[in-house]
Structure 1
């Protein structure tokens, strides 16, 4: 989801979870929501945890002031690595486009380039 720069992240998890499209693959009804949601300490609040539980999603969120959840860093590495790969395209590290459609188009193009490079590297 693309938001303005001054929008607080804590307001977005519900829109993000509700916007998940059905994921096909296995026989039967496609899944519409994840089993669990991972988050860092910025998302630690009773509201977020309660809303996720109402949607039957297990919140795996580090608590403020407590040690980090063991193994969560390994899962967060995938997210951080993705950001690092996308930030090699300077146009995405800072959003300059006023129109969301343009930014999303550049994002899709850069994801395609990253995947293409990975596939090319794997074949050689």
Structure 2
């Protein structure tokens, strides 16, 4: 197994990949054909997870460690964000944790980032 494969499996482990793969939008076929081979979705996902965990900028992403370019990782991140992948993945993991009773729903926090606060209270 290569260093690239190790990085991909570290940042997108099998169980995570199995949950994410069905949610990733299918790439549109290129009508003209040809061109470069499409970068592996799992490698791109691993690069994105690394970027989020490391807190680094796109320019600092060590893309060569994942076998994808920074531009590809950023473009795919943008596409997946528009498709709602991150929300779907979040819901998928909440559901899985709930099924195995790993979430105590009696304790919850509402973050002000997720809930819009109005300046003058709720509208009448």
When normalised by structure 1's length, the TM-score is 0.31
Structure showing greater Rg: 2
When normalised by structure 2's length, the TM-score is 0.31
